[in-house]
Structure 1
Amino acid sequence: MLKRSRQQQYKESLSDMAQRYRGVILVITVPLFLICFVLLLMPMARSSSSSSSDAFQQNRKFLPYYGSPVPSLKSYAVIFDAGSSGSRVHVFSFDQNLDLMHIGKELELFVQLKPGLSAYAKDPKVAAQSLIPLLEKAENIVPQKMRKDTPVKVGATAGLRQLGNDASEKILQAVKDLMKSRSSLKSDDNWVTVLDGTQEGAYLWVTINYLLKRLGKKYSDTVGVVDLGGGSVQMAYAISEAEAAKAPKPTNGDDTYVKELLLMGTKYYLYVHSYLHHGLLAARAEILKTSKSSENPCVLSGYNGVYTYGGKDYKVSSPSSGSSISKCRQEARKALRINESTCSHEKCTFGGIWSGGGGHGQKDMFVASFFYDRAVQAGLIDASKPIVKIQPIDFQEAAEHICVTKLEDAGSKYPHVEASDLPYLCMDLVYEFTLLVDGFGLDPLQEITLVKKVEYQNSLVEAAWPLGSAIEAVSAAT
């Protein structure tokens, strides 16, 4: 009985003490509980970290990576566009997800100067040194600690192509030497080159689909592109693996019709072809060649002069009856050899060239460069709108008004067209319609998109090949 009483007193005493010191007990026990909880979770965290590391290693090749143990949260690429009229440098910055990041207020640094490399054909060293001011501006943008991991690429286009192999190779070698001796950026001889038309077409396809956020999606969700330059026109669009397997084998050293690209974790089979001598300025010469005399039905009434292209002069004048859209269309078809060449493949564009088979990747076409420029000059679209949907037939309808205009009146009606281009405005528009419909087989009423720039992260980005080249550079694994 006495023992039970003492136990009861002891319990009451403990209860009183607990009540009295409950604050102290809470202060001590809560941290101990939290420490135990953290220790319990640590194995799980290590396991999760290990899984994340494994996932990163599997996907590393699709992220910007240049050999460091852990890729930077930010990467840069410097791209030189060495064109015929001048040299330009583009600097792009990407985050770890390959999204463009702002450089100041813009999504790229863009600086240009004139003349281009081809102006120094007789002095390759001076040609290369002309890039130094652009190189210095680019290097100042890239943080010093990141320069050795930042690729610098130089892509020369039409200007060097026209110089011939010997002169262009000497200039390219001088540029390679400059990049090695003067640049603190990551350079490689293979990154200094003359781009061929298919590379330009492929890079433009990458650029536009990137800006539209289509890369990483299935090929049928991408858009196709047609890039009308001065000397050549390129078409590129993604096709299925089954269609890629049907691609004809190249002959006589021709480029392959299909390029395989691995972008943002997705493999694409890209049909791309460059049609030499069928750019807008080259096409004028081809159309003038079809006439037996200097008179050409594509030239505005009242013109008599000389057209110079590729070092050759073509005497040209308008017929006494004036220009004719129907006759001009016949001449454009002759220049494209629509009825002359046979198609040895299942489907062809013009000149017996395989078309890629068509398909979902071609259903949404973006057309750029001279297509956009002439549409603005002809009043088809407003220059303030960098991306506009139209139909191929709109080019023909615009030509119907222009082709009946006399040269003396054309200047006031079309004030945005340079004087040297005015006599050929009818020809240009008829050719563009014929190229899209008869050449590439588009329906005259199919909706297409004229593009100059694409909005990306509330900024407008030029729809041009350098961005595509930059994306390839930072996507490459080492």
Structure 2
Amino acid sequence: MFNVLIALLSVSAASGWTARRLAPLPAPAVVRPPQTYSTATHRMMDVRTTRDVEWAATLNAHNASLLQYNYAVFFDAGSSGTRMYIYHWNEVMNNTGLVTPQNDARNCSTRLSDFRDEPERVGPSLKACFDFAAQSIPADKHTATRVRLGATAGMRIVATENATAANGVLTAIYQYLRANYNFSVTEGDIHILPAEDETAYVWAAVNYAAKVLQDPLERNNTWTSLYMGGASTDVSMDVSKRDSTATAGLAADYSLTLFDHTFPLFIKNFICYGKDQAFLRYQALLVKSSNFVSPVYNPCGAWNHTIIVRHKDLFNAACSTVRVPEELTSQESYEIIGTADFQGCRNMTRRLFMLDFALQPAQCPFNDAGTCPLVTGGGHIFYGRLLASGGFAYDASTLSLLSNRTFVVSVPFDIDGQRRALHELCSTRYVDVMDMAYSANVKAEFALRACFDGVYSGTMLSDVYRLDDETLKNSVFSRSVNDEDVSWTLGWALITSVTKNTTVTSPNSAGVLRAVSLSAVSFLVFVPFLFSFVIHLQF
């Protein structure tokens, strides 16, 4: 048993939401495939409908106001690294800024968890990104530019082991910023982002990019977000327009006000079920299955691919739930050899959802039929269009590249082609996987993980979320909507842009905390999960 720790942030009065540019105004909310237009063609496609013109005129007359450009800088400090986003806006609509990214995300490389023992080094490790922001934003705007950093599941996990060390890293970043730059930043701006906030921000980013939030006539067509990260995975959807049967047992547990409209959201964030943490548990499960004796055989691994893993990396982490006999705790390492066994890979991956997690409180027990809305009634409960982003989209894209595009990640999604490609990859020799990686320009480490990642994502979507094939075919696997990156930072930028006091409401709103015990807050997780339902994986 262990108590998971988390930082709980109540987004205070800055919690309204924002819109995007006024032209072109919303057409049906779809993800446009990549296209190239001539100037003349683009003009023709920008012709507005009568409804668009009337809507724009009304908004301009009553709510839009021109401002000087406002800037904000956001850091997504995830478990695999830190990315920086710069946003700006010079118009507001319904008290929310029309936020636009100034440039693509900038990879800062830094993993905050690497600095728990040397916090004095974390600030300088981010210097290149800080400098880029300073150069990208006019100097006379620096003092008015808000800088905010949200550390996500990776640092939540670090805080389970040492909250003092986690806070030390965050404080060091704040002090470095204050000492070397003129940006507007408070100590509370550099914090561990509560899981429910991160999940809601993703939902807002998706629906803002889809131009649903901005148009009152489109608000019945909100998208549902399914996101896979490295250390956690999450679900978010609007429940305001669900019919009474579908909504049974499905209560809104988060409320966002954006564009002067309040959206009740159903959100779930599952710590330790991101694909990187799942992979570590998978390896630990393999070692246990071999009675902690090398060699250990890996059915998801390419044939004859051999690696050495350290005992402490698999069994000493906060997300590890595989029990180790006392006499084996001094074990140094294990040799793991790939066997390229697709069926064995599927079977072993399913077991990850049956491990006995000691996470508390247990609010979504999958072995208690009828209490968890994600598995109630034998079918999925999701509403509207589905966007599978983060790892879901990356895994599909990587597999497409490795298979020499035998299937294409588009709408409708070729689920049958994806499954054939995954089966072939998971039955391939190490030397052939390396050739595939070279030909597809995919890093070897990602190619060698692609079998496990694909099977794990498929298990999550088909068995945990219970998406049938027809739903999967109509889902969008992408990291962007309308060419807009839907990082949760966009949602946070929308909140930051709000021009009047509104509130974000969640059951856990209780002020700004940096790193606190998760056992003391209402954090939704996957817990002891015995398969009380029949699994039908169809790869």
The answer to whether TM tops 0.5 is yes
Aligned positions of 1:272-311 closer than 5 A? 272-291=267-286, 292-293=289-290, 294-307=296-309, 311=313
Tell me the CA shift for residue 200 of structure 1. 2.8
> What is the match of residue 453 of structure 1?
480
> What is the match of residue 257 of structure 2?
262
Tell me the CA shift for residue 454 of structure 1. 3.2
**Higher RCO (CA 8 Å, separation ≥ 6 residues):** 2
Residues 407 and 181 of structure 1: CA distance in aligned 2, closer, same or farther (over 3 Å): closer
Secondary structure at the counterpart of residue 461 of structure 2: helix
Counterpart-to-counterpart distance in 2, 1:290 and 1:109: 39
Find 2:123's aligned residue among 124, 128, 131.
Answer: 128
> What is the match of residue 333 of structure 1?
350
- AA aligned opposite 1:336: F
Secondary structure at the counterpart of residue 374 of structure 2: coil
Tell me the CA shift for residue 365 of structure 1. 0.9
Secondary structure at the counterpart of residue 73 of structure 2: strand
Counterpart-to-counterpart distance in 2, 1:153 and 1:83: 14
8 Å contact kept, 1:93–1:108: no
1:316 aligns with 2:348: no
8 Å contact kept, 2:203–2:224: yes
8 Å contact kept, 2:84–2:108: no
> What is the match of residue 166 of structure 1?
164
- AA aligned opposite 1:184: N
Counterpart-to-counterpart distance in 1, 2:166 and 2:172: 10
Report Cα offsets for 1:372-422 as digits up to 9, x if no partner. 222222226969x99654155544322222222222222223434433344
8 Å contact kept, 2:437–2:443: no
> What is the match of residue 48 of structure 2?
none
8 Å contact kept, 2:198–2:488: yes
Aligned positions of 1:217-232 closer than 5 A? 217=216, 220-232=220-232
Secondary structure at the counterpart of residue 237 of structure 2: strand
Secondary structure at the counterpart of residue 475 of structure 1: coil
Tell me the CA shift for residue 78 of structure 1. 1.5
> What is the match of residue 49 of structure 1?
none
Tell me the CA shift for residue 439 of structure 1. 1.0
Report Cα offsets for 1:141-160 as digits up to 9, x if no partner. 44455544432211123553
- AA aligned opposite 1:327: G
Counterpart-to-counterpart distance in 1, 2:311 and 2:143: 43
> What is the match of residue 10 of structure 2?
none
Residues 438 and 116 of structure 1: CA distance in aligned 2, closer, same or farther (over 3 Å): closer
Tell me the CA shift for residue 425 of structure 1. 2.9
8 Å contact kept, 2:153–2:195: no
1:236 aligns with 2:236: yes
> What is the match of residue 368 of structure 1?
389
> What is the match of residue 454 of structure 2?
429
> What is the match of residue 405 of structure 1?
428
Counterpart-to-counterpart distance in 1, 2:499 and 2:265: 18
365-374 or 430-439, which deviates more: 365-374
The sequence identity of aligned pairs, in percent, is 21
Secondary structure at the counterpart of residue 387 of structure 2: strand
Residues 308 and 437 of structure 1: CA distance in aligned 2, closer, same or farther (over 3 Å): farther
> What is the match of residue 468 of structure 1?
491
8 Å contact kept, 1:451–1:463: no
Tell me the CA shift for residue 306 of structure 1. 3.3
8 Å contact kept, 2:379–2:466: no
- AA aligned opposite 2:170: L
Tell me the CA shift for residue 434 of structure 1. 1.4
Report Cα offsets for 1:304-327 as digits up to 9, x if no partner. 333569822664334xxx533333
191-200 or 226-235, which deviates more: 191-200
Residues 278 and 83 of structure 1: CA distance in aligned 2, closer, same or farther (over 3 Å): closer
8 Å contact kept, 2:79–2:230: no
> What is the match of residue 378 of structure 1?
399
Number of aligned residue pairs: 391
Aligned positions of 1:23-422 closer than 5 A? 72-84=67-79, 86-94=81-89, 95-97=91-93, 98-101=97-100, 107-108=102-103, 110-143=105-138, 146-164=141-159, 165-216=163-214, 217=216, 220-240=220-240, 246=249, 258-291=253-286, 292-293=289-290, 294-307=296-309, 311-312=313-314, 315-318=335-338, 322-337=339-354, 341-343=366-368, 345-349=370-374, 358-360=381-383, 363-379=384-400, 389-415=412-438, 416-422=441-447
Tell me the CA shift for residue 330 of structure 1. 2.4
- AA aligned opposite 2:165: A
8 Å contact kept, 2:389–2:478: yes
237-246 or 271-280, which deviates more: 237-246
Unaligned 5+ segments in structure 1 are 1-51, 64-69, 249-256
Report Cα offsets for 1:164-222 as digits up to 9, x if no partner. 42211012122333444544333233221122443332222221211111114465411
332-341 or 158-167, which deviates more: 332-341
Residues 422 and 74 of structure 1: CA distance in aligned 2, closer, same or farther (over 3 Å): closer
Residues 366 and 407 of structure 1: CA distance in aligned 2, closer, same or farther (over 3 Å): same
Counterpart-to-counterpart distance in 2, 1:428 and 1:230: 11
- AA aligned opposite 1:328: C
Tell me the CA shift for residue 86 of structure 1. 4.5
Counterpart-to-counterpart distance in 1, 2:115 and 2:387: 35
TM-score by length of 2: 0.62
8 Å contact kept, 1:260–1:270: yes
More helix by share: 1
> What is the match of residue 325 of structure 2?
none
- AA aligned opposite 2:455: V
Counterpart-to-counterpart distance in 2, 1:309 and 1:221: 49
Counterpart-to-counterpart distance in 2, 1:299 and 1:386: 24
Report Cα offsets for 1:315-371 as digits up to 9, x if no partner. 4334xxx53333332222221239994235444437x9x9998253xx311112222
Q: CA RMSD in A?
A: 3.8
TM-score by length of 1: 0.69
8 Å contact kept, 1:349–1:355: no
- AA aligned opposite 1:454: V
Residues 205 and 310 of structure 1: CA distance in aligned 2, closer, same or farther (over 3 Å): farther
- AA aligned opposite 1:278: Y
